[in-house]
Amino acid sequence: MVRPRAQAAHGRSFGAQAGVYDEVRPGYPDAALALALTGWDRQWSDLRVCDLGAGTGILSRRLHALGTELVAVDPDAVALERNPAPTVVGTAEDTGMEAESVDLVTVAQAWHWFDEPRAAAEVARVLKPGGRLLILINQLDVRVDWVLRLSRIMHAGDVYRPQYRPDPGAGLTLIDHRLVEFTTELSVDGIVDLARTRSYWLRSNEKTRARVESNLREYLSVEHPIPDTVHLPYMCLAYLLERH
């Protein structure tokens, strides 16, 4: 089990692979993003949004394109250098933002790095009454046998739990959820680069990294050979919560 302090440190290490991260990590499907507006008489251009744990800006770029008034918050200043939005160096537990200042908080690929009760309290603090929290989690689709094997070789840690629902408290109530299937096209080199952006790789020594790369290349050339590229199956798990 990773201790909370060590977990937070791992969550701040992605800036070291910022360029690779942007190249090989997938974006978030429009159908998953659209969950944020379900049953809400609001448009994207009406919203002031905090993209929390925003990192290099994979989601921030899409939110910016949708016309939101956006602030990107992350503890990793190196990762934020690539983010096109106005940025604040801060944590999920202490964003540095004003109380009741945003309509929507988005958290993409980062909720599991947070101290959930403290992060929930901070999200509730910065949201306006009736504001929303959208949690997005892209996972390799480990329901597919060969993808499950791939994830284990790269120590991805992607485990699909159909029953999971975030219940962080602090007045944040789950009001909807959605699973969106999609694929992203990668070469063998791209899949190896994908492994390089995972926390297991980032905290491993060179010997371990070499072993993971060798095992990946052998699997994709011998056990499950792929052509020049493959459409790698993913699922995006989207959870919508509301502040009451």
Domain map of the chain by residue range?
4-141+157-183+233-243
Quickly count: other Cβ atoms within 10 Å of residue 51's Cβ.
Answer: 31
- List, in order, residues 6 or more apart from 178 with CB less than 8 Å away: 31, 32, 35, 237, 238
Amino acid at 16: A
- List, in order, residues 6 or more apart from 211 with CB less than 8 Å away: none
Q: Of all residues in the chain, what percent carry a pLDDT higher than 90? A: 84
Residue 50 and residue 167: Cα distance in Å, rounded?
20
For β-strands 69-74 and 172-187, DSSP reports them as unpaired
Of the options 3.30.70.380, 3.10.20.600, 2.60.40.420, 3.40.50.150, the CATH number for the domain spanning 4-141+157-183+233-243: 3.40.50.150
Q: Where would I find the beta strands (DSSP E) of the chain?
A: 48-52, 69-74, 87-89, 102-108, 127-140, 172-187, 229-243
- Please choose, from the candidates 211, 45, 10, 137, the residue with its C-alpha nearest in 3D space to the C-alpha of residue 219: 211
Return the pLDDT at 180.
Answer: 98
Amino acid at 121: A
CA distances from 37 to 70, 103, 107, 182 (A): 16, 11, 15, 20
For β-strands 48-52 and 102-108, DSSP reports them as parallel
Return the pLDDT at 124.
Answer: 98
Distance in angstroms between the alpha carbons of the first and the last residue of the chain: 33
H helix count then E strand count, the chain: 10, 7
Amino acid at 182: F
Low-confidence ranges of the chain (pLDDT < 50): 1-11, 13-16
- Please choose, from the candidates 163, 94, 171, 161, the residue with its C-alpha nearest in 3D space to the C-alpha of residue 133: 171
Match 């995972």 to its residue by tokens: 198
Residue 33 and residue 94: Cα distance in Å, rounded?
25
Q: Is the pTM of this model over 0.75?
A: yes
Return the pLDDT at 17.
Answer: 58
H helices present in 127-218, as ranges: 145-153, 188-196, 199-202, 206-218
Residue 28 and residue 237: Cα distance in Å, rounded?
10
Residue 103 burial (10 A CB sphere; 0-12, 13-18, 19+): buried
pLDDT digits (tens, 9 = 90+) for 131-190: 999 999 999 999 999 999 999 999 988 889 999 999 999 999 999 999 999 999 999 999
